[in-house]
Amino acid sequence: MPKKSREEKELSKEPLLPGEGEVICGVTKFLGANYLLARCSDGEERKIRIPGKMRRKEWLREGDIILVSLWDIDPRRGDVVCRYSSDDVEKLLEMKIVTKEFLDALSGAF
């Protein structure tokens, strides 16, 4: 059986959906020391930490859409789970998980 090409793997991949205790956010500002501020889809602004396993594998920029796992101790903070690509954001828009107004509010914040 032939191996799948890289394009076929990427096309068949679905974006990671938020589960319980997770929320979709947009990066608004970097604070340094692996922390950033993010505006979340529930209307809150949270201080988010980039965990060690992602520090050099996923590079984040202001304006990126990320999935955040909220802390049980303090729900105003959380950890980055993944960064969505532009194709993943389009799929989330089609699935109506992210609204166009949320994305417009993020682009207006800069």
- The percentage of the chain sitting over the pLDDT mark of 70, rounded to a whole number, equals 86
Residues 6+ apart with CB under 8 A from 48: 25, 35, 36, 37, 38, 66, 68, 77, 78, 79, 80
Q: What is the pLDDT of residue 39?
A: 95
Model-level pTM? Answer: 0.83
Using DSSP, state whether 84 is helix, strand or coil.
coil
* Domains of the chain listed by start with CATH number: 17-108 (2.40.50.140)
pLDDT digits (tens, 9 = 90+) for 34-70: 999 999 999 999 999 999 888 888 889 999 999 999 9
- CA–CA separation, 18 vs 78, rounded Å? 13
Report residue 71 CA to chain centroid gap: 16
DSSP label at residue 5:
P
What is the residue type of 75?
A: P
**pLDDT, position 82:** 93
pLDDT band at 85 (very low <50, low <70, confident <90, very high): very high
